[in-house]
A and B are shown apart, each in its own frame.
Chain A
Amino acid sequence: EVQLVETGGGLVQPGRSLKLSCVASGFTFSSYWMYWIRQAPGKGLEWVSSINTDGGSTYYPDSVKGRFTISRDNAENTVYLQMNSLRSEDTATYYCANNYGGPFAYWGQGTLVTVSS
């Protein structure tokens, strides 16, 4: 059974940093791209980042480029999202997803990040 479990969310002050983790199981982690997606309270879905199988290629939308960094540890079956210079508009539930069987096929349960003073 494919499982994705995100951790690391919480309350953080504007301008500070936070690192999210997503531990994967139930599929060959090193063979699949991984993604982060976020959803602000009451709003729609926004793609945040992508990483290829060996971590050599990463992609971001303009809204987080230069502030967020995605990485992965294939030995630990884990993908990370380092978030720096956080803003109030980064407040959201952050989901990780994979492309096992299709794009953004499986999702974790999400972790809530609240940016507030």
Chain B
Amino acid sequence: DIQMTQSPPSLSASLGDKVTITCQASQNINKYIAWYQQKPGKAPRQLIRYTSTLVSGTPSRFSGSGSGRDYSFSISNVESEDIASYYCLQYDNLPTFGAGTKLELK
């Protein structure tokens, strides 16, 4: 099974900051990674698929990059509505999620 190591577990940012979350796979996942946002009490919402493709409705301040085993997800100009937990998902093989990153306001 492919393991996804997501970091950091939590992040504190000010409005307008740029933040970056990383996920490292235990093996090459061929860019088959997606990123999700989850707000308390709500279902996760897909933001990015196939490393860097923004899903319809995802603001352009969100971005993704990477290859091989190493991937990153960034939010430029953090807004208050971005306060949430974020998860990576690899779908190159049987799906596995990262452990999540909780983004809080500083």
Contacts and interface: CB of A to CB of B under 8 A. Distances in A.
B89 interface: yes
Contacts of A109: 43
Contacts of B55: 101-102, 105
Given A45-B87, A103-B34, A59 B43 contact: no
Given A101-B55, A104-B34, A105-B55, A44 B97 contact: yes
Contacts of B96: 47
Q: Identify which of B34, B95, B99, B100 gathers the most chain A CB atoms within 10 Å of its CB.
A: B95
Interface string A1-45: 000000000000000000000000000000000010000000011
Contacts of A105: 46, 49, 55
A59 B87 contact: no
A47 B97 contact: yes
Nearest to B96: A47
Contacts of B81: none
23 contacts: A35-B95, A44-B87, A44-B97, A44-B99, A45-B89, A47-B96, A50-B95, A59-B94, A95-B43, A102-B46, A102-B50, A102-B53, A103-B49, A104-B34, A104-B36, A104-B46, A104-B89, A104-B91, A105-B46, A105-B49, A105-B55, A107-B43, A107-B45
Interface of B: 1, 32, 34, 36, 38, 43-46, 49-50, 53, 55-56, 87, 89, 91, 94-100
Interface of A: 35, 44-47, 50, 59, 61-62, 95, 101-110
